[in-house]
Amino acid sequence: MSLLGLLIVVVVIAGVFAGWPEWRAYATYRRRKCAGALWRHEFPSASKSEIRLFLSCLVDGMGFPRKIRLQFQPGDEVVSIYRSLYGGKTPLADSMECEKVAQLLAHEFKIPLNEILAQWHEEVALADLFAVVRRSPGVLPNLRIERAREG
C-alpha cells in the first residue's frame, strides 16, 4: 500500500472515531419518529412555530443538529438530554450546554432569564420549560425569524 493510501485510511479512521461520541449521543433521538403530534397534544393552543422555536433553542444550546429537533418529546428531561452528550455521565467540565439553552429561551421568548432558572431542577422536562416560556408575559417570539432560519 502506498503512503498516500495509508494516509487516506488513517484520516478516514480518525474521522470516524472523532465523530463517534457525537453520533452516539444523537442515536437515541435520531431513531425516534417526529414528536410534533405529542407536542400538539400536550399544548393544543401552541403554534407549530412556537414549538419549533423552543426546540431550536434546545438543539442550538446543546449542540444537536437542527434536523432532529422534532424528535425530542415533551417528557424528555433536560439533564438526560445533556448527559447523552457525555455518554450518560455528568462531566467535570462541559461547554455549559444547559446554560446556553436557558439563555436562548430567555432571548427568543423575551422573558427574564431568572424566570426560566426558577423552574430549573434536576428532573425538569421539556414540557415544564415550554410551559414557562408560554405563560410568561414577555413579548411573543418573532416567528418570522424562525421561518427564515428554516428556509
Find out whether 58 and 69 touch, Cβ atoms under 8 Å. Answer: yes
pLDDT at 13: 55
How much helix, strand and coil, in percent to the nearest 5, is found in the chain? 65, 0, 30
Stronger pLDDT, 52 or 14, i.e. the higher one? 52
Instruction: Give the number of residues written for the chain.
Output: 151
Tell me the residue range of the domain where 43 lies.
Answer: 3-150
Q: At 110, list the grid cell.
A: 423575551
Beta-carbon neighbour count of residue 91 at 10 Å?
11
pLDDT at 92: 63
Alpha helices in the chain (DSSP H): 3-30, 36-42, 48-62, 78-84, 97-108, 113-119, 126-135, 143-150
Question: What percent of the chain shows pLDDT beyond 70?
Answer: 70
Among 102, 103, 77, which Cα is nearest to 90's? 77
Find out whether 74 and 39 touch, Cβ atoms under 8 Å. Answer: yes
* Confidence label for 43 from pLDDT (cuts 50, 70 and 90): very high
The whole-number average pLDDT for the span 85-106 is 82
Tally of domains in the chain = 1
Please check the confidence at residue 103 and state whether its pLDDT lies above 80: yes
Q: What is the pLDDT of residues 58-95, one digit of tens each?
A: 999 998 999 999 999 999 999 899 888 887 666 666 77
Q: At 133, list the grid cell.
A: 416560556
